[in-house]
Structure 1
Amino acid sequence: MKYKRILLKLSGEALMGDQQYGIDPQRLEQYAQEIKKVVDQGLELAIVIGGGNIFRGMQADRIGIDRVQGDHMGMLATVINGMALQSALEGLGVYTRLLSGIQMDKVCEPYIRRRAVRHLEKGRVVIFGAGTGNPFFTTDSAASLRAIEIEADVVLKGTRVDGIYTADPEKDPNAEKMDALSFDEVMARNLKVMDMTAFTLCQENGLPIIVFDMNKADNLRKLVEGENIGTVVS
Structure 2
Amino acid sequence: MLHKGDALLEVCDLTVQFGGVVALNEISLEIYNQEILGLIGPNGAGKTTLFNCLSRLYRQSSGDILVHGQSITPFSPEDMAARGIGRTFQNIALFETMTVFDNVLTGAQFAMNCGLAADIFGGVKLRRERGETRDRIMHLLSLLDLADIADHGIADQNFAVRKRIEFARALAAKPSLLMLDEPAGGLNREEVAHLEDLIRQVRDQFKVAVLLVEHHLNLVMKVSDRVVAMDFGQKIADGLPQAVRAHPQVLQAYLGEDVA
User: Does the TM-score normalized on the shorter chain lie above 0.5?
Assistant: no
TM-score, structure 1 normalization? 0.32
